[in-house]
Amino acid sequence: MKDRSAEVLPPPLLEAIAKGATVRAFPKNAIIVNEGDETDSVYVILSGRARVYVSNAQGREVQLNVIGPGEYFGEVTLDGGPRSASVMSLDDCRCALIKRSELLTLVEKEPAFALHMMRKLASRVRDLTENVRSLALLDVYGRVARLLLDLAESRDGRLVIEEPLTHRDIASRVGASREMISRIFSDLTAGGYVMKEDGRFVIVRKPPPRW
């Protein structure tokens, strides 16, 4: 599974940020920010999870990320531009809001936050590079295989994906149709590579890089 440690604020820093920030609660499935909004706050997730995605006028969505406690979003708007993606809560969420005007004060008080943000942005650049590589060089099957291995965690000698995923979720992450994903999973299941157990995907054996 991909190491997400660069994305998560350490507990002492998270507590220091939350102490002086405005905290807002969002119910499950609420739109926290919309792509194209002109707002300028950074949101730090204190509890719950949220999905980050982009969409077009026809309603097609591509999911970019799922983030949880200690992670944050909105730092891209610090350049003065609009929101580059939408964010929707997957659970009941609590977020600490830091306005652009408050960020300099926060960085002066907590320089570790500025360093963390730099490391996170560097990690995101690496992720985007890999995503572009996948879109350019891998077919849909290859992108699905890569996603499954990125999400899987070792459990009792097996690779288990703890995050509940539907074929629609996977389609939005790899830029494909749900029907195509269903066909790929039918083949992976028939080949003995993937199974579903207690609502979770289990990778029984590593899928081949090409089908």
Looking at the structure, tell me whether residues 120 and 168 fall in a common domain: no
pLDDT, tens digit only, all 211 positions of the chain: 556 677 899 998 898 888 878 999 999 999 999 999 988 899 999 999 999 999 888 778 888 888 999 999 988 777 788 898 999 999 999 999 998 888 878 888 888 888 888 888 888 888 888 877 777 768 999 999 999 998 999 888 789 998 888 999 999 888 888 999 999 999 999 999 999 998 889 999 989 877 7
User: Which of these three, 104, 135, 166, is where a domain ends?
Assistant: 135
95 domain-assigned: yes
Please report the DSSP string for 2-43 in residue order. ---GGGSPPHHHHHHHHHTSEEEEE-TT-EEE-TT-----EE
* Beta bridge mates, 31: 88
C-alpha atoms less than 13 angstroms from C-alpha of 124 in its C-beta half-sphere: 18
Q: Which domain holds residue 164?
A: 139-203
Looking at the structure, tell me whether residues 25 and 59 fall in a common domain: yes
CA-based nearest residue to 144, from 107, 110, 192, 193: 193
Looking at the structure, tell me whether residues 48 and 128 fall in a common domain: yes
Q: What CATH number is given to the structural domain containing 89?
A: 2.60.120.10
209 domain-assigned: no
Q: What CATH number is given to the structural domain containing 154?
A: 1.10.10.10
Q: Do residues 45 and 68 touch, judged by C-beta distance below 8 A?
A: yes
Looking at the structure, tell me whether residues 126 and 61 fall in a common domain: yes
